[in-house]
Amino acid sequence: MTQPPDYCVCSLLKQTRVFPLPCVTGMLAEQFVADGPRLHLYDFEEKHWKYLHNWQHATMYLFFGLAAAVSLITHSTEAAPPALDRLMLGIAFFNEGFLFLYHLHGRSMLDVHVHQLLLYAVFGQALIAFLEVFHRGNIILELLRCTLTLLQGSWFWEIGFVLYPPSGPAWDLKDHSNMMFITMCYSWHLAFALLVAGVLYCTVSCVVRSRLKRTPPVEMGLLKTRERDAESEDEI
């Protein structure tokens, strides 16, 4: 069956979502930016490690790249069991949290705290991706993972504003009331992420429903066939 062009584009975009290209770009960028390691790791003259942070970031990208490659394989061929993409995603998030966890030695109190809060989102995503291995297609888990991804993103932004404030005075990194405010901030970010995920979910499901109603029966049969194709890609 020849597939109509719009379906192909949609499918391509869907696969681009998981295409490992951004991860490879990220790894290269971490290595070859102006003051990057350029594949050097050990300073043999002064006998100590250099550029450890860049290498750690590149390692994180590496695992997300692996997860994307596996996702591409499971969706386009039948060589791998379909749940493997969620397992790799879970391992990639676990690895990210694992590297952040041992990243914090000797920093000031607030700096450690904002990174620890981040770990809630990261390990939460790892756990949910692992649960999805057994409960694939559970909409609740998908929404929760989406929410935690939004939370992680907005919290990275917040970390930037706290540690390197673009204007105004620097934060006192040892003040306890700052720490309590930041904790509350994290709850607000979570509420915001829940709201965004909820609005997105409602919009998408409304659009899909109204389309299904408008389509005449014959067209709808075709649509269903296409849907079944798209699904069969997911649930081989």
Q: Which residues bind a second copy (CB under 8 A)?
A: 41, 48-49, 52, 55-56, 59, 62-63, 66, 70, 79-81, 83-84, 87-88, 91, 95, 98-99, 102-103, 105-106, 120, 133-135, 139-140, 143-144, 175-181, 183-184, 186-188, 190-191, 194, 198, 201-202, 205
Q: Where would I find the beta strands (DSSP E) of 17-75?
A: 42-43, 48-49
Q: Which is nearer to a second copy, 17 or 209 (CB)?
A: 209
As measured in angstroms, the least distance from the Cβ of 225 to a second copy is: 25
Closest-CA residue to 58 (of 25, 98, 16): 25
Q: Which is nearer to a second copy, 48 or 214 (CB)?
A: 48
Q: Which is nearer to a second copy, 12 or 212 (CB)?
A: 212
Q: Which is nearer to a second copy, 140 or 218 (CB)?
A: 140
> Would you say how long the chain is, in residues?
236
106, burial (CB in 10 Å: exposed 0-12, middle 13-18, buried 19+): exposed
As measured in angstroms, the least distance from the Cβ of 133 to a second copy is: 5
CB 124 within 8 A of CB 93: no
As measured in angstroms, the least distance from the Cβ of 89 to a second copy is: 12
Tokens of 147: 């929410």
As measured in angstroms, the least distance from the Cβ of 52 to a second copy is: 5
Q: Which is nearer to a second copy, 153 or 198 (CB)?
A: 198
Phi, psi at 43, each rounded to 5°:
-90, 100
Radius of gyration for the alpha carbons in the chain, expressed in angstroms and rounded = 22
As measured in angstroms, the least distance from the Cβ of 53 to a second copy is: 9
Phi, psi at 49, each rounded to 5°:
-75, 145
Long-range contacts of 140-145 (CB under 8 A, 24+ apart): 143/197, 143/201
